Amino acid sequence: MSKKWKWGLGFAAAIVVLVVLASRMFVAAMQDEWSADRAAVAAAYGKTILAKVHTVQRFEGDQEVTVIQGEDKIGQPLIVWVNGDNAHTEMAADGITAAQAEANVKGKQPAAQVLRTMPGLMNGQPVWEVFYKVHSDKDNRDHYFYDYYTFKDGTFIDTWRLTIQ
């Protein structure tokens, strides 16, 4: 076996070891997050009419809550907010959609580029959080904002601007 082959095999083995170590570190780092998500989904299944899960997201507002979007037994979309032992359920049809919340942002900021829209809780009430950016030609920078709208009817609540001090 030539010297080039030995170096090539050694390099390939080192890459494999690094990939395995990195994946194990990732799994170890995410284990608590995944366990919390599984616990929230289990609580939602046990305390609500949730029958099928589509997405699980963490919302960090005035309190940390896990937001689960899914369906009931007859396929109607619903959203469940889980905080510890408490679970709050709303049928998706009883509120505005994510697209309607985004349209509200576009209505007041036509140049906005929506980056994420998700349900959340603000002061214990279901809301839509829309994260977006607006490019300013004045200072040639992107400015980032969070807009909050009530889940039920899309009433504007507040805008938070992210700034670098």
CATH number of the domain to which 118 belongs: 3.10.450
Domain residues for 29? 3-86
Q: What's the CA gap between 61 and 64, in Å, rounded?
A: 6
Domain count, the chain: 2
Q: What's the CA gap between 77 and 62, in Å, rounded?
A: 26
Task: Decide if pLDDT at 11 tops 90.
Answer: no
Burial class (CB in 10 A: 0-12, 13-18, 19+), 79: buried
Tell me, yes or no, whether 92 lies in a domain.
no
Task: Decide if pLDDT at 4 tops 80.
Answer: no
Q: What's the CA gap between 40 and 18, in Å, rounded?
A: 33
What is the reported pLDDT for 101? 96
Q: What's the CA gap between 51 and 126, in Å, rounded?
A: 21
Task: Decide if pLDDT at 1 tops 70.
Answer: no
What is the reported pLDDT for 6? 79
Tell me, yes or no, whether 93 lies in a domain.
no
Q: Which of 42, 63, 86 is the last residue of a domain?
A: 86
Q: State whether 70 and 105 are in the same domain.
A: no
Q: State whether 119 and 143 are in the same domain.
A: yes
CATH number of the domain to which 53 belongs: 3.10.450.40
| Contacts (Cβ under 8 Å, ≥6 apart) of 74 | none
Q: What's the CA gap between 136 and 131, in Å, rounded?
A: 17
Q: What's the CA gap between 62 and 56, in Å, rounded?
A: 19
Task: Decide if pLDDT at 31 tops 90.
Answer: no
